[in-house]
């Protein structure tokens, strides 16, 4: 079992060294105009996670341009690039909520941003689309730019929706500051934590022999730790049930003000919904994103 990708070709490489040692690798190949940027982003993401907590991620070995042995008369325009990491023997089924919570919370708690800021040192890709990960000292500023750019990607694919434009304008100018500024008000601080960036069930696996939890196919950046688990609220994934959020919070509680934790998660999940909509034109996740923001605005508009 070597995994399935909507955006790349994948394979299990079986090798044997000169002394007879067997070793399997996972290979991903992309042949697109932006293939280099995408494999580089994945390599840097997985390298950062593996460096921080080796037990949670397969070891990445490299990335680069594929060497094509082209026969006379064949097309020579390929831009194929590869990403290579350890191959994992994974068990079927959903991850254990308690074990995932323990491992993921540890990654979030021990990680240290190299700049002390939110962001990452290169562009990373959620699926086939880029995330804006330029360093920001303000989490409010970082998330605002992130969601604005994801909304732009969605609009480019699905077309202009004037009512959503109006909702997004209010979201950027009023709602995001209202929900995120209190995280650093009255002497509070939030730590930039290294997050996977797209942690749904297909990017989490359980070692079939040891039961260890692994995460892979990352689009990492340093963020507010609550952003990581907001994706589990989205109904188009399966982790909206099973107690995953509750178990995580036992290991790494939500930030103050705790009374607004669920609403912050709802706001964060809109970025996931919009990214899904941008990947799958016509998806109902666009309407869900609109409805979530409208609900939050109706709840908090009394505050501005």
Q: Is residue 6 very low, low, confident or very high in pLDDT (cuts 50, 70, 90)?
A: low
> What pLDDT, in 10s, does the model give residues 127-138?
999 999 999 999
DSSP alpha helix (H) spans, 24-96: 35-52
Average pLDDT over residues 81-92: 96
Q: Whole-prediction pTM value?
A: 0.94
260 pLDDT band (50/70/90 cuts)?
very high
Residue carrying structure tokens 């990491």 = 85
Q: Is domain 88-303 classified as CATH 3.40.190.290?
A: no
Q: Where are the beta strands (DSSP E) in the chain?
A: 9-16, 22-31, 60-65, 80-86, 90-91, 124-126, 129-131, 193-195, 204-207, 213-215, 221-223
Domain range summary for the chain, segments of one domain joined by +: 88-303
Q: How confident is the model at residue 142 (pLDDT cuts 50, 70, 90)?
A: very high
For residue 74, the model assigns a pLDDT of 58
Q: What is the pLDDT of residues 189-206, one digit of tens each?
A: 999 999 999 999 999 999
Instruction: Give the contacts of 234 (CB within 8 A, at least 6 positions apart).
Output: 200, 240, 269, 272, 273, 276, 285
The yes-or-no verdict on residue 124 having pLDDT over 90 is yes
């Amino acid at each position: 079992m070597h995994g399935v990708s909507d955006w790349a070709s994948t394979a299990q490489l079986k090798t044997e060294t000169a002394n007879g040692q067997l070793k399997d690798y996972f290979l991903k190949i992309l042949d697109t105009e932006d293939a280099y940027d995408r494999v580089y982003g994945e390599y840097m993401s997985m390298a950062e996670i593996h460096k921080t907590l080796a037990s949670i991620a397969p070891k990445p070995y490299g990335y680069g341009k594929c060497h094509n042995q082209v026969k006379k008369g064949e097309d020579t325009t390929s831009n194929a690039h590869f990403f290579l990491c350890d191959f994992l023997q994974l068990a079927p089924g959903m991850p254990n909520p308690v074990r995932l919570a323990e491992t993921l919370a540890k990654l979030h708690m021990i990680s240290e941003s190299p700049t002390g800021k939110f962001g990452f040192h290169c562009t990373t890709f959620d699926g086939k689309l880029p995330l804006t990960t330029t360093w920001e000292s303000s989490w409010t500023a970082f998330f605002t730019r992130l969601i604005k750019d994801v909304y732009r990607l969605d609009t480019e694919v699905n077309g202009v929706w004037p009512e959503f434009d109006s909702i997004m304008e209010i979201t950027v100018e009023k709602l995001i500051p209202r929900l995120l500024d209190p995280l650093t008000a009255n002497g509070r601080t939030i730590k930039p934590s290294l997050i996977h960036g797209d942690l749904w069930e297909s990017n989490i696996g359980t070692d079939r022999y040891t039961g260890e939890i692994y995460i892979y196919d990352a689009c990492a950046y340093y963020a507010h730790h609550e952003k990581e688990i907001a994706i589990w609220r989205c109904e188009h994934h399966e982790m909206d049930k099973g107690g995953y959020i509750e178990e995580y919070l036992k290991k790494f509680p939500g930030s103050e003000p705790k009374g607004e934790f669920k609403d912050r998660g709802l706001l964060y999940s809109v970025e996931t919904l919009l990214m899904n909509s941008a990947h799958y034109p016509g998806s109902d996740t666009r309407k869900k994103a609109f409805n979530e923001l409208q609900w939050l605005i109706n709840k908090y508009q009394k505050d501005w």
